[in-house]
Structure formats: structure tokens, C-alpha cells
A and B are shown apart, each in its own frame.
Chain A
Amino acid sequence: MSDPHLDSDVLVALQDVMEDEYPVLLDTFLADSEERLRVLREAQQASDPQAIRLAAHSFKGSCSNMGATLLAGLCRQLEEAGRCEELSVAPALLEQIEREFAIVRILFKSERQRYRH
């Protein structure tokens, strides 16, 4: 229930709203997140705090909607770092985000498996 990676209550609610579209939502989130991560990496390499802030902000929003609580929290920290132009912590945070996303990705994939049919 209170899995720190993926909030199962949120998943139940999403399923309830999306009905048959639920697997599509999961696919969409994963594809969208890959794209966000790519943008984040580029922004970090360019040491562009504003770009880091915006990308982290958007990612945070969708993570929170999808119940990826821990990931949303990490994004919030990175967004804050961008806002304060405190880029020294950015590489470490980004690495944590990549790791957490890898976990979330596996969890969503298995969730996705259950709806194959």
C-alpha cells in the first residue's frame, strides 16, 4: 500500500478513471518520462539551471499524478536546486532520479503485464 516507489492507492484510482485506457496511460507515461530524462541530462551537461528547473518541474508533475512518490520528491529537489542555481548537487540528484526511474519503470512494466489481455 505505502510502497515508496509506487503508491498502489493511486494506481487503483488511475485504473478506475482510465478503465480500458489504463495500459495506454502507463505506456504514455513511460515514453514521456524517457524524453524528460533525456532533456534533464542535456540541461545538466549544459549547466543550464533554468532548463533543469523547468524539466524537473514537469517531470515532478506527471510523477505525482502517476503515484511515483519517491521519484516526484527527487524531481522536486532537483527543481529547487535549479531555482536556487545550486548546480553542485545536480549530478548526484540526477543519478538518484535515473536509479529511481529504473525501479519505477520495472514496476510499471509488470503492472502493464497484468493488463496484456
Chain B
Amino acid sequence: MSARLSILIAEDSAADRMLLSTIVSRQGHRVLTVANGLEALALFEQERPQLVLMDALMPIMDGFEAARRIKLLAGEALVPIIFLTSLTEGEALVRCLEAGGDDFLAKPYNRVILEAKINAMDRLRRLQETVLQQRDLIARNNAFLLDEQRAAKAVFDKVAHAGCLDAPNVRYLQSPYALFNGDLLLAAFQPSGDMHVLLGDFTGHGLPAAIGAMPLAEAFYGMTAKGHSLREVLREVNAKLKRILPMGMFCCATLLNISFQRKVVEVWAGGLPDGYLLRGDGREHTPLVSRHLPLGVRDARSFNDALEVYPLEMGDRVLLLSDGVLEGSNAEGELFGEQRLLEVLAANRDDQALFDEIQAALIRFRGTQQDDISLVEIGVVESSSLGRPPVPQGGSVENAPLDWSATFEYRGATLRRHNPVPQVLQLLLEVPGLRLQAGALFSVLTELYANALEHGVLGLDSAMKADARGFADYYRLRTERLAELVEGYVRFDLRICPEPGGGRLTLLVDDSGPGFDGQAVMARQAQPERFSGRGLALVRQLSERCTWPAGGRGVSVEFSWRLEA
């Protein structure tokens, strides 16, 4: 049973009009009749019939012109027009089609054919209606999705940009919807002023790719702010991703810890294309090569958190990039690739222009903008030129204990995995007077702990770090010996004493090692070009007093404070 349609008949011959309208209404449709094209147009506008039967040759306005105008009025909706004609010449039939006609009906009319044609046209009309409805639905859903993405991105940006991507020595470029390509860029200062950077790329696209970014960012920022080392951040985010991501999903990532004070960068790279250590003095760039499986693949037991360590000079830059940069392909399906990137790097003269040059090269290669690239570059600058990281929040001033002492001793296996510095720092920051010195305190704790662990417990000689090769050997040896560590300890002795109008912290860090001659170390470190031992000089600079108690097995430092009345 075909549907009841409203059908406009335009026919100038009265007998034909009457005959046709009778046939059509007997077939169950609602009929509107007119005698020429102009009337047809007027009634079409008024009644919006669903189908038109149109005589080709009519006075005043012929069927061709009327058809053209009706098609314009109908817009995207399909209003089928069947031309009624005894025209026989092919040329005239072509004119019917050109005017927008969808079919013909020859005179004399045949009822059966007429009915079949009306039904066929109705099917086309409904098809078009469905297509339009679905198109509009898709457009609405897409707009909705984009809206959701915008909202999600706004929320995410609040989290992601909680860090220090806006620091003066950080430059980055992310395609607007890089997040929904699974790209993630995070940077944050540790309390010491070291900077942690993460560039990540989750497998897949869209929401599934973006969803892992949130917990990763939280862990990264939370742990970095508390002073956890890059290794600890790594282990945590890997374990977290392994736990929450479905099998087969993972995050290719490069993580950096850049110490502006110690002038080193620690690198962990798993699955992203090579990053580069760009030398400011014209030396060859050092590629930062992926050595690990991506994050979220290995479980905690088999995860490899080994870092590579490179010395830095002022003016050096660390460049990281997502695979979107290398995988841009041109019309021939050829990839942009590493070689073309290296050519851009080699041709670069002005640091400021590098990102523009990379983008321009991509556009030249592809012919269009690439929409899934992430680039970040961190410049090596004086640490004093960077703002101090914010003071961590602590408990209330009234309830803070002000006269106490405590000793922590970390032994053997604990030292292999655990970094005690955040724990000790957390405790000290319960003392309101120390909170304002959190950064200095963290740096001093970190240096003293590193000193005690590396030289005392692991027996490493910082003189090894005299040149670049020795530098690498030193860190390799550190990793090996730490992995084999069974005995030994590092001890923190904390003493908080009230003083009139304030208080004082005395902190002694010693270890199970054979002891050392602080004065001699300090003398060696006076040579500024050396890679090693900027540590103790820093401690002296940051603390109020720094002494080496007799026996040379530890270092004692003091911090004092005055409370505002």
C-alpha cells in the first residue's frame, strides 16, 4: 500500500487535466491542479506538494521554467517532477531533465505506468528524506562530540597546564586536538628547581586515547611536586597505566629530568621517535634514542627504569617530538621521516624559528597542515632565571610541633628502590618556618642524600665525571652497583629546636661508607669546568651553616627561621 501524497498537476489542456486528476485521486492521493507554470509555482509555495506532474508546453510559463524554479524552492528536499509530454524529439526530453525533471509520462496516459512511476518517485523522495535526516543527525552528533571534546580539553588543560609549560625556557607546539590524537605534554618543577618533562603518545585516537592522560598527569604532577625522583615517577605512572589500560593499549613516552643546577639531563625514552640534545656550541646533536618498551606494557616487576644521563652546557636545548611529525605523509604515501627532520635541524640558525621551520617543511612536504604534531623544546638556562617552584602546602601553624628530633635510617634493599627525600621533606615542611625554604631544603636534602648514597654507600668516585665518557661510565656503574646493593645505610638525623622568635633545624646526613675529606672535595670542586661535584658547593650556598663533623662520615647543615610576630 503506497502512501497518500499531495500531488500538484500542471496541465493546460482542461480535458487532460481532468482525466489525470481523476486517475491520481482514484489512486488515493490528494490532488492540486493548475493550468500553467506560473500558477504551479504559486500553488507550490503555498501548499508544498510532495510530487509534481508537469506538462512541458504551457502558456504564460512553460513546464521547463516552472520545474527549475520549483527545484530551487524545494532546496535539499527531493520533490520529484514527472513531465507529462507527448514530446518525441530527444532534444526536448533532454530539456526536461536539464530543467530538473526526474521522469516522463507520455500521452496517452496509462494508469498502471502512472501509478508505478509515482510509487518509484515516492521511494526516491523518501530515500532522500532519510539521507537528509541522517546527515543532520550525524552533523548534530558531531557538533555534540566536538562540544564534549572542547569541554574535556578545557578540563584537561587545567590539569595539564598546572605545570610549568609556560616557563621562559620552555617552548612547545601542540596541534589543537593533539590530546584526542593521544598526545600528552607535561612539565613541572621539582621543589629543588629540577624540571620533569613528559611527552607521551597513547595508542589510538579519540576519547580512548585521551582517557589515560588524566591519571598519568595527576601522578606526574603530584609526585613531582612532592620531590619524587624521575625514576619513582616513572615506576608509578607505568604501574598505574598497566593497571588501568586495556591490554593492547599503551603510552609511548619520553621523560626528562633536567637539573639546571647540576647541569645534567636524565632521559627515559620508550617508544617515541628520537629526541635530540641540541648543542648550543655547534657540536653534533645527540639523539635521545628510545631504549624501553612504552609505558603500560611491562608490569612493575619487569619494568626497566634505567635512565641515561647526559651533561648539559648553557645554551643547549632538549627537543622532543611525537611520531606525528615524522609520519606526515604526502600524496604518494611517502613519510616525512627522520632524514628530512635532521635536514631541518641542520639548516636551523635561529633557535626561535625552529618550530616554524619544522612546520613549514611539513607543509611543503605534505601540501597541507599536519594536525597531530607535538613538539617541545627546553632550553638550558641559569636556574636563577627560572621562578622558584611554589611552596608545598602544609598543616596549620598552631598545631605544628616545634621541639623534636628524629633519626631515619634507610638500609640495603630500601636504598635500591626507594628515595627517602620526599618523606623526610614532608616531615620537615610540617614546621611552618621551614616551608618558606622548601626549595633550598629539598635541594640540600637531595644533594646530601646523593652524596651519601653514591660516594659513601656505593663507593663511586666523583673524579670519574671529569669528562663526558667518564660521566656516562659513572652513571652506568651507579646503576649496576645500586642493583647489587645488599648492605649499607644512609641516616638522616633531624633536630628542631625553638629559639627566641623562631627556631633552628640541624640536619646531619651520614652513611655506612668509609668517610671523606670535605675540605679536599671542596677544593677540587673549585674548578668550574668540571662535570662533577657541583653538589657540595650548592649545599654550602643554600644552607646557613655546613660542617663536616670529625671522622668525615657525614655532613651537618643548619637552617634557621624567624616567625613574624
Contacts and interface: CB of A to CB of B under 8 A. Distances in A.
Interface in A2-20: 10, 13-14, 17-18
Interface string B74-85: 000000000011
Nearest to A30: B15
A62 B18 CA distance: 11
B432 to A, nearest CB: 102
Interface string B56-100: 010000000000000000000000000011110000000000000
A57 B58 CA distance: 10
Interface string A17-44: 1100100110011011100000000000
A28 to B, nearest CB: 5
B14 A64 contact: no
B86 A57 contact: yes
Given A54-B57, A57-B57, A60-B86, A65 B22 contact: no
Contacts of B57: 54, 57-58
B158 to A, nearest CB: 74
A14 B19 contact: yes
Contacts of B14: 28-29, 31-32
Contacts of A14: 19
Nearest to A14: B19
Rank and list the top 7 A-B pairs by shortest CB-CB distance, nearest first.
A29-B15, A64-B108, A61-B107, A62-B13, A32-B14, A65-B108, A28-B15
Contacts of B13: 32, 58, 61-62
Given A17-B26, A61-B107, A65-B108, A25 B86 contact: no
B111 interface: yes
Q: Using C-beta atoms within 8 Å of the partner chain, give the interface range for chain B.
A: 20 to 34
B15 A66 contact: yes
B12 interface: yes
Q: From A17, A18, A61, A66, name the one whose CB has the most chain B CB atoms within 10 angstroms.
A: A61
Contacts, number: 58
B338 interface: no
A58 B84 CA distance: 11
A61 B86 contact: yes
Contacts of B85: 61
A67 B16 CA distance: 12
Nearest to B58: A58
Contacts of B177: none
Contact of B22 (A10, A18, A54): A18
12 contacts: A14-B19, A17-B111, A25-B18, A25-B22, A32-B14, A57-B57, A57-B87, A58-B57, A61-B107, A62-B16, A65-B16, A65-B107
Nearest to B111: A17
Interface of B: 12-16, 18-19, 22-23, 26, 55, 57, 84-87, 107-109, 111
Contacts of A64: 86, 107-108
A67 B110 CA distance: 12
Would you call the interface of chain A mostly helix, strand, loop, or mixed?
Answer: helix
A47 B542 CA distance: 115
Contacts of A24: 18
A102 to B, nearest CB: 18
B466 to A, nearest CB: 106
Given A25-B19, A62-B16, A65-B108, 13 more contacts: A14-B19, A17-B23, A21-B18, A31-B14, A32-B13, A57-B57, A57-B87, A60-B86, A61-B86, A62-B15, A64-B107, A65-B16, A66-B15
Contacts of B26: 17
Nearest to A57: B57
Interface string A66-104: 110000000000000000000000000000000000000
B477 to A, nearest CB: 104
Contacts of A18: 19, 22
Given A10-B108, A57-B57, A64-B107, A21 B22 contact: yes
Contacts of B19: 14, 17-18, 25, 65
Nearest to B109: A65
